[in-house]
A and B are shown apart, each in its own frame.
Chain A
Amino acid sequence: MQGCRRLVEVGRRQFLKGSGTMAAGAVAASVAGSRRAAATPAPARVDYPSNRLANVADLAVNEPLEIAYPDADSPGVLLKLGQAADGGVGPDGDIVGFSTLCPHKGYGLLYDPSDRVFNCPGHFSRFDAEHGGMQIWGQATQNLPQFQLRVDDRGDIYAEGVDELIYGRLSNVL
C-alpha cells in the first residue's frame, strides 16, 4: 500500500541516519550453500573472521563506537557499559558489541545512553544492551545479535562470532 511504501522510505532515511559510517564496500562472496553437503540442514556455525575492531583505550563509558562485523556491510557498535554485563569482555567484563540492524525489518537502531537501550524508529522495538540484547519489547522474532568478543594483552578488541542471524543476510558470513 502506498502508506506503507512511505513508511519504508521513512525507515530507510532512519536507517541511513543510524548507520552513517557504513561504507558500501563490496564483499567477496563465498557461496554459503554450495560448499557443504546438501542432504542435511545447515551446520551449526559458519567460520567467522577474527577482526580487530578497536582498542580498549578507544572506548569511553556509555559512548557507542561504531564498528562493522563480520564485514563492512554489517554495522554494529562496541559499548563499554561501566559494569559487567552479559557477554561482556575486557578487564571489567563490561565491553559488549551488537549488530545495529534491527532483526525485525533492518532499520538502523539508535542507542539511548540514558537507559542503555537500542531503539528502532521503524516499529518501536527496544533491545537492552545490558541484558544480552534482550528484546524488551518489539516485533523481531529474535533478540539482538551480539558479537562474541575477545580482548588480547594489548587491549585490542576482536570480534570472533555472532550469536544470532544478522538482518539482511542468510549467512552471517557472506
Chain B
Amino acid sequence: MAYKRYIDRLPIIPADAREHNVVCHFCIVGCGYKAYSWDVNRQGGTAPDQNKFGVDLSEQQAPETEAWYSPAMYNIVKQNGKDVHLVIKPDPDCVVNSGLGSIRGARLAEESYSRTTFSQMQRLTDPLVWRYGQMQPTSWDDALDLVARVTAAVIREQGEDGLIVSAFDHGGAGGGYENTWGTGKLYFEAMKIKNIRIHNRPAYNSEVHATRDMGVGELNNCYEDAELADTIVAVGTNALETQTNYFLNHWIPNLRGQSMTKKEEELPDEPHAPARIVIVDPRRTVTVNACEAAAGKDNVLHLAINSGTDLALFNALFTYVADQGWVDREFIEASTLREASSRPPLYPARGVSEANPGHLTSFEEAVDGCRMSIEEAAEITGLGPADIVKAAEWIAMPKEGGARRRTMFGYEKGLIWGNDNYRTNGALVNIALATGNVGRLGGGVVRLGGHQEGYARPSDAHVGRPAAYVDQLLIAGDGGVHHIWGCDHYKTTLNAHEFKRVYKRRTDMVKDAMNAVPAGDREGMVGAIINAIRQGGLFAVNVDIVPTRIGEACHAILPAATSGEMNLTSMNGERRMRLTERYMDPPGQAMPDCLIAARIANHLERVLRKMGDDSYADQFQGFDWQTEEDAFIDGYQANAPGGEHVTYERLRAMGTNGFQEPATGFEDGKIVGSTRLYTEGVFSTDDGRARFMDAPWRGLQAPGKEQQKAAYAFLINNGRTNHVWQSAYLDVQNDFVMDRWPYPFIEMSPDDMAEIGVGEGDLVEVYNDAGATQAMVYPTPTARRGETFMLFAFPTGVQGNVVNAGTNELVIPNYKQTWANIRKLADAPEGTRHLSFKSQEYREV
C-alpha cells in the first residue's frame, strides 16, 4: 500500500497569523513561499473574517486556490521558545513560481525540525565529540577548544596545507551569502587554505571555467527569456525534474503558445510563434515527454546523442550555422575578439597550459578550429544527419522577413559532469555568441543550476588553477585535519569506493588513539591525536545540520542551523536575490554556519596566543559577529558588486521577488537590479570583448574512460529524480519519499533485464574497476539497450562508487561517462513490493 498520512484536517491559518518571506532553500529556481505562524493554542475559522485568505473555507476551493495547503506544508515548531503552528505555502505573487510548489519545496514545513510532530528528529542539536568510543554531546566551548587545538597543532607541524577543507560554496540551505562569507573569511583571509574542495567536486574550481574565460558569466539571462525565445536549446538538463517551476511556469507557457501576447508586446517588429525546443540528452526524460505534450511532437527535437559526444554535435552546428551565414555579424564585430593569437604548439592535444585547456580566439579562427561536417558528427553522435541540420535551422535560420531567431541555450550537469567539460562548454557558448544570443531578449547561454547561489568570499587566487585534487590528497595520506562543511563525500564524490576505504582507515587511527586517553585530559588527548596524525591518521571535523555518512568517520561534529532558522540570503538562476526570514528556532544549540566559523576563529586566536604565536593569532581577528546579519554586513555589503545598496531591511520589504543582481542603486524605496547581463555588448574580459573557443573534438577526454567503455557492458548514466532533493539528506527521514524510493532506481531496457535475468524491483550490483554499488531495477521501455540511468547520490546505493577518478584538466569530475557490469543480488525485497513500476511519462487521455 502506498504511504498515506491519514491526516484529513489541518488547522486554519487565522487572519492575524504572522507572515515571513521564504525562498525555498533547495534548488536553483528559488520559488517564493510564505511562512505563516501562530500560537499553538489558537486557530482560524472557516468564516472569511476568521482566516488569512478572507474566504469561506466551509466550501470546496477551486483549482489553483491560494486557500489550501497540503499536510506536507504544515508542522508545529518552536518560535522564540514557544510552540507555534507553521504553514509554508507557495507564494502566488512571486514571479518565479506564481504559486506553484514542487514535490520537494512544498515539503519545507514537513521537513522542519519538530519535537511535537517528531519530524526531522535526526537534526543535530548539540556539538558532539568522540568520547569513550562513541560520539557524545558536549558544550560549544569544549568542542571548539578541541577543534582549535588540533587544528593549530597540525598547522604548526604541517603548515596551512595540513588543513584540508570541504565546504559548500552555494546558496540556499547549507550556504547563502552569510555562510559562504563566514567560511571564506576564515579559510581565505585569516588563513590561505589551498587544499579545499566543494560539496560535489574534488577541487576548488568553477564548473564552467570555459564560459567565464570567454567573458560570458554563466547566469546571464532572466527567466522571462524562456517565455520570449523562438527556440529553447536544453543540453544535459532534465528541467522538469530539476528546475521544476522554472520549467512549468516559464518554458511550458511558451511551448503551449501562452506567451504569444507577451512576445508581441515586448518584441513587436518581428514574427512570432510558440517556441520550439531542442533537447540534447542520451536519455528520453520526462522533460522530453512534457515538452511533446505541451508543444506537439513536431515542435520538439530530442537529440539522443551517444553519451559524451555533445562537443561533436555543437561543433557541427557551429560549422553549419557559420557556413550558412546565419550569424550576427554586427555583434561579432562590435563585441567579440577580432585579432586572434596563434594556436598553442601542442594544440589540440593540449592547451597553452594545464590551466587553460582551450584556445580562446576570434570567430573565424574558432570556426576553422572547430570545423566538423554534419556527416562526421552524425557518425560520432549516432544522430541522423537530417536531425542535426534541423537543429541548426531551429537555432539560427532567420525568421520570416529576415529577423534574427531568438534562441536560449540552457545547460546543466549532462554537460558539466560530462566528457571534456571545458571545450564542450566553450563550443556551446560559441553558437550563442555567433548567433548574437547573449544579452538579448529571448536569448542567453546559461547554466540552469543545481543549488541557488550565494557566493561572497575573499579572493581565492592563492588556490591556483588547476586547483588541488583534494580527494587524491586525502587518499594519498596527506593532511592532518579535515574540516567538512555541509558536504557528504561518502554519497557525493567520485571514486567514492576507494575514498571511503582510505578515509575510514585514517580516521579510525585517530579514534583508536582517542580511546586510549581519558576525555578530561585535554593535553593528553591532543597529544594522542597529533601522534596518530603523524602516523597517517586524520582528524575530521564535520559541520552539518544532520548526521551524515562521512560524519560517521568524524571526531567532532558541530550542529548548524538551516534556512528559516536563521536569516539567509541567496540568489537564484536569474540572479534574483531574496532574504529568507527566520521563522523558527534552530534545534537545540545549533548555530548559523557563519557564526560557527566565527567561533572557530575566536578559539583559534585564543589557542594560538596561548601557544605564543601572536602574529598568526592576529590574523584571526575580525570575527566578533553576534548575528548572521553581522556576517552579511561584513561580507556581502562590503564586498559584493552593488552590495552597498543591499540591506536586510530593504530585502525584507522586497518580499519574495527581491531584485536581480547586481544591484545598481536604491530608488523609490526599492533596490534597483539588473534584468539581464551584457545588454550593452560589453563582456567580462579585460577589453570587454567576448572570446570564441577553438575547441576541436578529441573523444573521451578523461583518463580511463575509453578503457572502461570498452571493458564493461552498460553505460551507467546517472542524475536526479523528482521526489528527492540532493543527496536525500532530509528526505531520508521523509516517509513519503522513502516509501517511493527505498533504494536508488536503475532504469533498464526490458530486453537487458531479460538478458541478465532480473525483474522489476530486484536488487542488482553495479560493478567495475572503480568499485561496486547496488540499485533497484526499474523497467524502462524507452531506455536504449546497454544504456542505464541510476539515481545519483542516494544513501542506500551510492552511484559514485563506480565513477572512476578521471577528471578533466581543471579537476572537473566526469560522473556521467561511467560504464559497468550489472548482476543480480536479490529478488525484490519486501520494501519494494508495493511500488509502482509503471512509466513515469504523462499520457494524454
Contact = CB atoms under 8 A, between A and B. Distances in A.
Interface string A81-92: 000001100000
Interface in A1-35: 1-8, 10-12, 15, 26-27, 29-34
A123 interface: yes
A57 interface: no
A8 to B, nearest CB: 5
Contact of A168 (B68, B253, B259, B289): B68
Given A164-B4, A174-B59, A33 B72 contact: no
A87 B2 CA distance: 10
Contacts of A162: 8
A2 B249 contact: no
Interface in A111-170: 111-112, 114-115, 117, 119-126, 128, 130-143, 146, 162-170
Q: Which of B250, B293, B842 has the most CB of A within 10 A?
A: B842
Interface stretch (B37-45, B188-196, B521-529): B37-45
Contacts of B117: 41
A103 B63 contact: no
Interface in A92-123: 101, 103-108, 110-112, 114-115, 117, 119-123
A165 B8 contact: yes
B59 A117 contact: no
B258 interface: yes
A139 B102 contact: yes
A33 B44 contact: yes
A136 to B, nearest CB: 5
B666 interface: no
A134 B2 contact: yes
B43 to A, nearest CB: 5
A63 interface: no
Contact of A107 (B63, B68, B71): B63
A86 B834 CA distance: 8
B343 to A, nearest CB: 46
A39 B41 contact: yes
B106 A133 contact: no
A143 B2 contact: yes
A172 to B, nearest CB: 4
B461 interface: no
A124 B838 contact: no
Q: Which of B2, B47, B95 has the most CB of A within 10 A?
A: B2
A42 interface: yes
A34 B51 CA distance: 13
A136 B838 contact: yes
Interface in B56-75: 56-65, 68-73
Contacts of B740: 134-135
Given A33-B11, A140-B70, A106 B45 contact: no
B8 A172 contact: yes
B101 interface: yes
Contacts of A110: 845
Nearest to B253: A3
Given A168-B61, A169-B68, A38 B42 contact: yes
B72 A124 contact: no
30 contacts: A2-B262, A3-B249, A3-B253, A12-B62, A15-B63, A31-B58, A33-B46, A38-B42, A39-B41, A42-B7, A45-B8, A87-B1, A107-B63, A126-B838, A131-B2, A131-B834, A133-B2, A136-B838, A137-B840, A137-B841, A137-B842, A140-B70, A140-B103, A141-B110, A143-B4, A163-B6, A164-B6, A168-B65, A171-B8, A172-B8
10 closest A-B pairs by beta carbon, nearest first, are A29-B58, A3-B253, A141-B72, A106-B63, A132-B2, A134-B2, A73-B60, A4-B98, A124-B842, A137-B840
Given A104-B101, A139-B103, 10 more contacts: A2-B259, A3-B227, A10-B258, A33-B11, A106-B63, A110-B845, A128-B2, A137-B842, A139-B102, A169-B68
